[in-house]
Amino acid sequence: MMPAARWPYRAWMRMLIPADVRDEAMASLDHRVLEIAAAQGLTAARRWYRQQCLKRTGELLVTLRSQVLQTTRQILAEASLGVIWQDVRSAMRGITHAPAQAAVIVGVLAVGIAGTTAVCSVLSGILLRPLPYPDADRLALVWTFNTAENRRDGSSSLNTRDWVSRSTTLERLALYWRPEFTADTVLLGDRPVRVQTAIVESSFFDVLGVQAKAGRTFLPSDIASGTRPVIVREDFLARFGLSTASAIGQTLTVAGRPATIAGVVAAEVTLPTADTVLWRVFDPSPPGAMASRRDDTYVALIRVRQTFTRDAAAQEIRAIASTLAVEHADTNKDFSVEVKSLRDEVVGSRLEAVLWMLLAAVGLVLLIAANNAAHLLLLRSEHRRHEFAVRIALGAGRMRIIRQLTVEGLVLGVVAVVAGVAGGAGLLEVLLWLAPPDVPRLDQATFDVTVALAGAASALIVSPVFAVLPALTTARHADVVVLRSGSGRSTPERRRLTRFLVAAELTLAVVLLVETGLVIRSVRALGSVDPGFNARSVLVGRIDLPETYTPGARIVQFHDELRARLETIPGVNAVAAMGDVFLRRNPDQKIVVEGRDQQVAPPLTVELVTPGFIDALGLTLHEGRTLTSTDQLTSGQVGYVVINRAMADAFWSGESAVGRRFWWWSPAIDTSTDPGLRVAGVVSDFRRERLDEPPFPNAFVIMHMPSMDLAIRTAGLPEAVMADVDRLVREIDPGVALTGLAPAWNRFAGSVASRYFQVWLLGGFATLAIGLAVVGLFALLSQGVVARRREIGIRLALGAQPSAVRRLVVRDGLQLTAQGLAVGLAIAWCAARLTRQLLFEVSPGDPLTFMWVAVGVFLVAAVATSLPALRAGRLPVARIIQID
């Protein structure tokens, strides 16, 4: 028969009724509910049951309150300095009596406090602390979103002007160049450095609300003045030993042209990117007919009017964008917008996911720790029931014992808090030290006092409460029973609770272990990704030619000489230049393939290279031929390009690509007169910047540019020739800036490093979790053996084999493990799906990981089980029988 009351209320009610009358009371209530349901309907019956639950809860609270008040009053009445001191002393005695147990409890609590404090500090620094701009929540970035290709893109100045002029919610808007286009070589004095720069509209800093620390920010008149002012960041100046005040008016060379420092801003300005140190100004007013709405160069920084929310602004701009899509269907057909708050943009969704996962991990560990501490404290007091019974029999007041336990719990709690807070501060340092350098706003992470206080408070509450709980019942019930039974016999009730707690610990630990396993497998997969070229034997640096090198023969000549000279260095195999070896732009170039419809998707990226780039990067030529200096593109003649495997597969899958013809797409394309391009050869793919992102389709064309990456393939270690390369470049022309010379592998290490960070943290937490859970299991089983000493003794005395007794304990432990494991694996299976974003080439349900975790947990649990089991088999039978 289905009870009429809903199950959550029945479960609630069950908790409110003590075990001795539970069955009877529950049965009566169920019966009564049915009666009411029959007489007045189900709704009335359920209402009655709810009222019963509420009333009972209220009554329980009233009782509890009066009990607590009474106890406190009594304790306070008896307390004096001397008595407290005596309590502390006897508490210390109690603790030193079983130091290992006390140490474990303190350790468990301290670990929980330390872990939460450190991770929450990082989290609040990165995610919760406001950005260093006034009214930062009114700032947002607007991107064009290409709905046809499902990716976001830069915007055109024409479109953004329309957003502003038609909007009522925008206060201001400033454009800046997409940061991936704007790395520059800067020469201050005679030391060239390659830095991230920004090209921004003159109103950029005003929209951000940033004032100059010295000098000024940009003025609208800066464009016309021709002085080329730049704003630099304070920490950039420090690298050159320049003070903020003395820097104003200094000249430096940016991208081969002189510029003047007009102002200095604080190091906390991190827009467009965290490593931007220099801002240049530009005027986005459309240069006549050349301007296109398809231009994707700019990002729009907006400040929303005070009276509107960011969401309202986002909605309005989206509406404007869809109007524009109709008005300018030829260009804007597929354009929507993406509005992202500045905070989200700065922090990044992937990092946010990592941090939340970490917090979840810490939360789990803290749960396990608190759980474990409670359960250990329960066991500890449980063990001493006999001691209390004896003391009560000898005339100790019940209050005396409660007080002593409270003080003991408090002493343990205080030690744990001190250790935990110190540990948390230390752990924070370790986290900051381990963190990969590209984590934004990491400098904002400082020790979070609020979290530490909360952790401390919880420890100071948990420990005395759970220390006292068993004593309350001991003191209440007939003490004779405890005395007679000879040992602390736990009630079945409490045994069930502790068993549940231990199983829950195992469950949580399993969830963490699985997640860690998946991330470890991701990192391994990432480490074994072939970047497509031998990154460990390629040296990459940036070559910037001074302004005197005008595009044309002069640059070609320099590149030829550079190649010839560098290849004389022993150990250098091949040299070439390439627009950007590591910059992975969004594919933006569309092409028209001969014999197909116009505008074949997907788009690709065009890479500018000098002859010999295949050798210099160590790529493999799959078919066709490589390019030589005679393949420079000339208008009116057919051009030759080399394409990568991804492009060949995208456009000419299953057939040979060599000799195929295509055209760069443009609105004015005329395939009948334009000779177009032909594929000369196909090279292997290679990965750029991040190993965890697959290669795009690429076309390589010969082009000599004043600013290019230099790629040098070496026979041995690339570091060995670095000095020679540097010297030779300076010999050819001391005005040429060679910067950032480093082995290519270093660049990939960045993307691997952030994953190692995750592995370290998660691995640490998972180890902690399983360690805590196993301690819990061990304690539970040991206590079980002690509690069942008499039963086991009798069994042994009656001729049971020790092995049978051992099996009894082992079975108990493994059963518990199996339960925790089963539930844990099920939860982990669901949880892993939520963290898919953090995995690489590993499915969230990876069977190998799940299997290893299961086997591992079982083995560890077996070890934890075997010790109490061995002890059970070796119990001194004669003594037990004698005592009891």
Partner 1 sequence: MPRSQYLGELELTILLALDRLDGPAFGMAVYDEIVTATGREMSAPTVYITLARLARKDYVKIVAPSSTSNRATKCFALSASGEAALAQSRRMLGALLKPRRRRA
Pairing between strand 698-702 and 600-609?
Answer: parallel
Question: Does position 493 bind partner 1 by CB under 8 A?
Answer: no
Give the residue, chosen from 6, 28, 481, 727, that forms a contact with partner 1 under the rule CB under 8 A. 28
Cα 554 to Cα 278, 557, 737, 777: the distances in Å are 29, 5, 16, 77
- Smallest distance from partner 1 to CB 54, Å: 8
3-class secondary-structure state, position 171: strand
Q: Give the Cα separation of 530 and 456 in Å (integer).
A: 49
How many C-beta neighbours within 10 Å does residue 52 have?
17
Using the structure block, give the residue that is written with the tokens 């394309």: 669
Stretch that binds partner 1, among 9-17, 494-502, 660-668, 761-769 (CB under 8 A): 9-17
Write the interaction track for partner 1 spanning residues 50-79; mark x where CB under 8 A is met and - where it is not. Answer: --xx-xx--x--------------------
**Residue 180 has what DSSP assignment?**
G
Question: Does position 457 bind partner 1 by CB under 8 A?
Answer: no
Stretch that binds partner 1, among 17-25, 207-215, 483-491, 624-632 (CB under 8 A): 17-25
- Residue 75: CB partners within 8 Å, gap ≥ 6? 399, 402, 403, 406
Q: Which is nearer to partner 1, 28 or 598 (CB)?
A: 28
Question: Does position 392 bind partner 1 by CB under 8 A?
Answer: no
Give the residue, chosen from 4, 5, 9, 13, that forms a contact with partner 1 under the rule CB under 8 A. 13
Phi and psi, residue 481, nearest 5°? -60, -45
Stretch that binds partner 1, among 49-57, 220-228, 667-675, 844-852 (CB under 8 A): 49-57
Question: Does position 34 bind partner 1 by CB under 8 A?
Answer: no
Stretch that binds partner 1, among 18-26, 133-141, 296-304, 757-765 (CB under 8 A): 18-26
Beta strands in 256-295 (DSSP E): 257-265, 276-281
Question: Does position 790 bind partner 1 by CB under 8 A?
Answer: no
Radius of gyration of the chain (CA): 36
Question: Does position 472 bind partner 1 by CB under 8 A?
Answer: no
Give the residue, chosen from 8, 18, 395, 492, that forms a contact with partner 1 under the rule CB under 8 A. 18
Give the total of residues touching partner 1 (CB under 8 A). Answer: 19
Question: Does position 393 bind partner 1 by CB under 8 A?
Answer: no
- Smallest distance from partner 1 to CB 446, Å: 51
Question: Does position 21 bind partner 1 by CB under 8 A?
Answer: yes
Stretch that binds partner 1, among 13-21, 110-118, 522-530, 870-878 (CB under 8 A): 13-21
Q: Give the Cα separation of 93 and 98 in Å (integer).
A: 9
Stretch that binds partner 1, among 4-12, 47-55, 242-250, 771-779 (CB under 8 A): 47-55
Please give the residues from 837 up to 876 whose contact with partner 1 meets the rule CB under 8 A: none
Stretch that binds partner 1, among 12-20, 113-121, 198-206, 295-303 (CB under 8 A): 12-20
- Smallest distance from partner 1 to CB 398, Å: 13
Question: Does position 29 bind partner 1 by CB under 8 A?
Answer: yes
Give the residue, chosen from 10, 16, 689, 822, that forms a contact with partner 1 under the rule CB under 8 A. 16
Please give the angle made by the CA atoms of 304, 309 and 311, to the nearest 5 degrees: 100
**Backbone conformation region of residue 427, classed left if phi is above 0, alpha if psi is from -120 to 50, else beta:** alpha
Indicate the burial class of 611 (C-beta count within 10 angstroms; 0-12, 13-18, 19 or more): buried
Pairing between strand 677-683 and 639-644?
Answer: parallel
Cα 438 to Cα 121, 201, 360, 746, 749: the distances in Å are 18, 26, 22, 14, 12
**Pick from 394, 49, 391, 320: which is nearest to 169 by CA?**
320
Question: Does position 47 bind partner 1 by CB under 8 A?
Answer: no
- Smallest distance from partner 1 to CB 57, Å: 9
Alpha helix (H) residue ranges in 788-801 = 789-797
Q: Give the Cα separation of 14 and 25 in Å (integer).
A: 9
- Smallest distance from partner 1 to CB 468, Å: 22
Alpha helix (H) residue ranges in 384-448 = 385-393, 398-434
- Smallest distance from partner 1 to CB 43, Å: 19
- Smallest distance from partner 1 to CB 74, Å: 17
**Pick from 626, 612, 628: which is nearest to 713 by CA?**
612
Question: Does position 399 bind partner 1 by CB under 8 A?
Answer: no
Q: Which is nearer to partner 1, 31 or 596 (CB)?
A: 31
Q: Which residues bind partner 1 (CB under 8 A)?
A: 13, 16-18, 20-21, 23-25, 27-29, 31-32, 52-53, 55-56, 59
